[in-house]
Structure 1
Amino acid sequence: MLMSYSFWLIAVVLGVGACYKLPAIVRVGGNPLARQVGGLLILATAVFFFAAPTVIAKMNDLTGIVNFSAPWVYSLITLFSASCLLLIIKWRGGDEVSIRRATWWVYGSYGTLVLGLWLCFSMGDHHVERVRDLDTFYATTPWMREMILLYLAAQTSAALVTSALLWSWERTVRRTGWLHTGVVLLTVGYALNIVFNALKLTAVIARWNGHNLDYLSTNVAPLIAFLVGLLISLGFVVPHTGNRVSQYVAARREYQALAPLARTLQHVPTASAPVFLGRTAPLRLRLTHRRTFVRDALRHLYPFMNTELHEKTVQGLIAEGKKPHRAQALADAAAISAAVERIHAGGSPVPGQPHIDLSNPVVISRALRRLPSLHAVRRTSSTESLTS
């Protein structure tokens, strides 16, 4: 039962990844590569769900055919292997003729293998139900032996090709963040898949030679299969989920970083009508609104900023030991604060002043909140600005 729970856990993780790709699968005219990944995840989910010993026994009972689950699960594994190869073909790219030829070769060869699995099963003697050790129990049984070898050969060849391509691809995606993490997980997962097949094949060959290494297939291989499923599922899920989380965290940080500047500008008139968004509104929508509001308010403030005073403030702060970029941000914040106070006091625009570069509002907003010397600078610049 523990093995069933382990396999179901992997199926759930893979299913989550498939749900992420579901829109790409059903979308007409969508990205073919995304559809290929989605199809692969669906097949992988099915493999781990139906390979659970509890489900194997239930399938045999429902169909009334002893060991019916064997060719069914082997067929799913073979189709999953074919899906891996098709994904590799899409990733590798090339001219349309070569891609189409390789795709049809995979369809033809692996489709034939699936038919061969069912043909061997129908011709073999499989009257004794085996839920966990069918591979070794029937390793010397005519036709059942061939069925086992067919699925192992299909899975091993696909795992070898996929591992080789992922290994070569890993070098090209270094320093790409979550994508590189996903490729590394997939590389290790498919490499362990080769180990899984080697263990199964070793146990089968041992039976051919009169030895008993069944524990490799019955006890060790399922543990490797669990790791394979976990790594492959994470390899597909982590890049997508990681990017989503990173984007959310970055948006949250920017939204919070802009808060001091937005509060400073909240009473500055803008060209657009004010829009009030509650905390329940999507973060991306609130961030877009805050960016737009800050940009429009700063555009309205430009005529009220004293460029000459701004430059003097920058030089004064540098003379006090501030680094140039910090002095610039502090002076920008002081100029904005002074311009806001000038508007509130009913002051007129400063004539003949070039616009101050305020292209990094996040840095300016952080200066408003974090730099302790800003208040003194703001008071000085405000007084001089109002009297200029």
Structure 2
Amino acid sequence: MNAGTAYLSVAAGFLVATAVKAWALRKNPRDPLLRAVAATLFVAAFLFVTAAPPNLAVMNRVIGIPNVAAPIVYSILTAFDGISIVLLIHWRGNEDSRVTVRQTRLCLTTYAAVMIALYALFALGDAPVERLRDLDTYYAGTPWIREMILLYLAAHTVAAVTMVVLCLRWSRKVPGTLKVGLLLITAGAVCMFGYDLLKFTAIVARWLGHDWDSLSTNVAFSLAGFSALLIAAGFMLPPIGQGVGSRWRALRRFRRLQPLWLEIRPEIPPTSPPPMPWWQPVERRLMQRERDIFDAVLRLTPWFDQSTGSEVYALALAEHSGFRRARGEADASVIARAVIQKGHAVPALAPDHRWTVSSIEDSEDLVDMSAAMLNSLRVEATRRSTARAEQRA
């Protein structure tokens, strides 16, 4: 794969990632972090598009100045460095917003000044021979052009070190996908630093009369693409991981509530909409299932038997001494009995003989009650005894 194809392949990857974030922005257009990540990914894609040697030649030819593409690419790289640091600053957050604003202004001002200086140094220098891949080493000894090269590398090195320090400090305080994302960004920043070291080494070798240009044109190029992909993955992983984790938790809860939902399904009001199909978002399906359960419990409340609940609660508590588990079994037994009795047109109980189902008030207790509906021997015994009593009646 030649250099142009390699650069454009990396750019295509960043454009796909940008499109994914842009699609997410349709649902959360005011999310500042999402917008910042999308902007960072777009700048990275733009950087690799402009840095491809064929496009460098096109820019030089269109503008009419040999090597003018160099300060353009260097300034885009500098912008990417600055945006990445600012994104980390805002992503991490700070109790004092004034500190965040001050850090952001300092970073943006510094890197904007570097970008302006790059163009000024190029204008002062003389680079008449077009170099599409080895400009850094070819002009390593040329006044002003040399300073331009050293300036962009120094700014890039500072960004790499800053990102490593910020991410390592923050990664010690956070868990999960956020920690993994920060470690990926750290690895990408270390590769950035390696890129700079290789560039500096090749330039110093030129000053000393040696030809180590391959370090700059080949090895450093490979590190550049790899580091950019690691950093992009680090920025994308936490929000993706959080979304996947949220959907997984919703799906798990949806499934765990199924035994309870199946038990009270006959009491779901006929005016309620039918269950959503499987391809609908699981969060919406979970909301519908919980709403159905709440509605059915309200309809069953007049048949909640106090004596049944008290008996099962006492037996369960004596066996395993777990308050929540015992309460879940008692509530499940009461609901199972009420479904059967209401289905056989048994008269409602007086208010002072009704059991209060408290598990419905807490999301975790609701799941425990659903588990008891499926696994508890006491709930099954209540079903059988109630069914036999109604048959005899």
Q: TM-score range by the shorter chain?
A: 0.7 to 0.9
Deviations for 1:129-178, whole angstroms, at most 9, x for unmatched residues? 332222112212233212211110111112222221222222222x3x22
Is 311-320 or 37-46 further displaced after alignment? 311-320
Q: Give the Cα separation in 2 of the matches to 1:25 and 1:254.
A: 27
**8 Å CA contact 1:347, 1:386 repeated in 2:** no
Instruction: Compute the displacement of 1:377 (Å).
Output: 4.4
Structure-1 residue corresponding to 2:135 = 134
Unaligned runs of 5+ in 2: none
- Partner of 1:266, secondary structure, is helix
Q: Give the Cα separation in 2 of the matches to 1:318 and 1:354.
A: 17
Structure-2 residue corresponding to 1:361 = 366
Unaligned runs of 5+ in 1: none
Matches within 5 A, 1:6-85: 6-19=6-19, 21-22=21-22, 30=30, 32=32, 34-85=34-85
Structure-2 residue corresponding to 1:119 = 120
Structure-2 residue corresponding to 1:289 = 288
Counterpart AA for 1:164: V
Q: Give the Cα separation in 1 of the matches to 2:331 and 2:318.
A: 17
Is 21-30 or 112-121 further displaced after alignment? 21-30
Q: Give the Cα separation in 1 of the matches to 2:381 and 2:25.
A: 59
Match of 1:378 among 356, 359, 383: 383
Q: Is residue 185 of structure 1 aligned with residue 190 of structure 2?
A: no
Deviations for 1:42-72, whole angstroms, at most 9, x for unmatched residues? 3222223322334334444544543333211
Instruction: Compute the displacement of 1:24 (Å).
Output: 9.3
Counterpart AA for 1:264: E
Matches within 5 A, 1:157-176: 157-173=158-174, 175=175
Structure-2 residue corresponding to 1:268 = 267
Instruction: Compute the displacement of 1:341 (Å).
Output: 0.9
- Partner of 2:172, secondary structure, is helix
**8 Å CA contact 2:15, 2:41 repeated in 1:** yes
Structure-2 residue corresponding to 1:246 = 245
**8 Å CA contact 1:24, 1:31 repeated in 2:** no
**8 Å CA contact 1:301, 1:339 repeated in 2:** yes
Counterpart AA for 2:273: V
**8 Å CA contact 2:260, 2:370 repeated in 1:** yes
The two structures have a TM-score, normalised by structure 1, of 0.84
Counterpart AA for 1:361: L
Is 311-320 or 118-127 further displaced after alignment? 311-320
Structure 1 pair 341/89, CA: closer, same or farther in 2 (3 Å)? closer
Report the identity percentage: 33
Instruction: Compute the displacement of 1:354 (Å).
Output: 3.1
**8 Å CA contact 1:8, 1:48 repeated in 2:** yes
Instruction: Compute the displacement of 1:346 (Å).
Output: 0.1
The two structures have a TM-score, normalised by structure 2, of 0.84
Is 86-95 or 298-307 further displaced after alignment? 86-95
**8 Å CA contact 1:66, 1:128 repeated in 2:** yes
**8 Å CA contact 1:305, 1:335 repeated in 2:** yes
Q: Which has the higher contact order (CA 8 A, sep 6+)?
A: 1
Structure 1 pair 379/3, CA: closer, same or farther in 2 (3 Å)? farther
Q: Give the Cα separation in 2 of the matches to 1:284 and 1:157.
A: 44
The size of the alignment, in residue pairs, is 385
Structure-2 residue corresponding to 1:143 = 144
**8 Å CA contact 1:335, 1:378 repeated in 2:** no
Structure 1 pair 33/320, CA: closer, same or farther in 2 (3 Å)? closer
Is 354-363 or 86-95 further displaced after alignment? 86-95
Q: Give the Cα separation in 2 of the matches to 1:314 and 1:100.
A: 57
Structure-1 residue corresponding to 2:332 = 333
Instruction: Compute the displacement of 1:19 (Å).
Output: 4.3
Q: Give the Cα separation in 2 of the matches to 1:97 and 1:274.
A: 51
Structure-2 residue corresponding to 1:300 = 299
- Partner of 2:129, secondary structure, is coil
Q: Give the Cα separation in 2 of the matches to 1:341 and 1:306.
A: 12
Q: Give the Cα separation in 1 of the matches to 2:5 and 2:306.
A: 69
Q: Give the Cα separation in 1 of the matches to 2:3 and 2:304.
A: 70
- Partner of 1:139, secondary structure, is coil
- Partner of 1:165, secondary structure, is helix
Q: Give the Cα separation in 2 of the matches to 1:322 and 1:374.
A: 17
Structure 1 pair 165/384, CA: closer, same or farther in 2 (3 Å)? same
Structure-2 residue corresponding to 1:310 = 309
Structure 1 pair 102/330, CA: closer, same or farther in 2 (3 Å)? closer
Structure 1 pair 108/376, CA: closer, same or farther in 2 (3 Å)? closer
Instruction: Compute the displacement of 1:294 (Å).
Output: 0.5
Deviations for 1:329-369, whole angstroms, at most 9, x for unmatched residues? 44433332221111110012233223132233323333434
Q: Give the Cα separation in 2 of the matches to 1:148 and 1:120.
A: 9
Instruction: Compute the displacement of 1:217 (Å).
Output: 1.2
**8 Å CA contact 1:304, 1:339 repeated in 2:** yes
Q: Give the Cα separation in 1 of the matches to 2:297 and 2:27.
A: 42
Instruction: Compute the displacement of 1:299 (Å).
Output: 2.2
CA RMSD of aligned residues (A): 3.4
Structure 1 pair 29/263, CA: closer, same or farther in 2 (3 Å)? closer
Q: Give the Cα separation in 1 of the matches to 2:330 and 2:28.
A: 53
Instruction: Compute the displacement of 1:197 (Å).
Output: 0.8
Deviations for 1:299-325, whole angstroms, at most 9, x for unmatched residues? 222221223223333455677789776
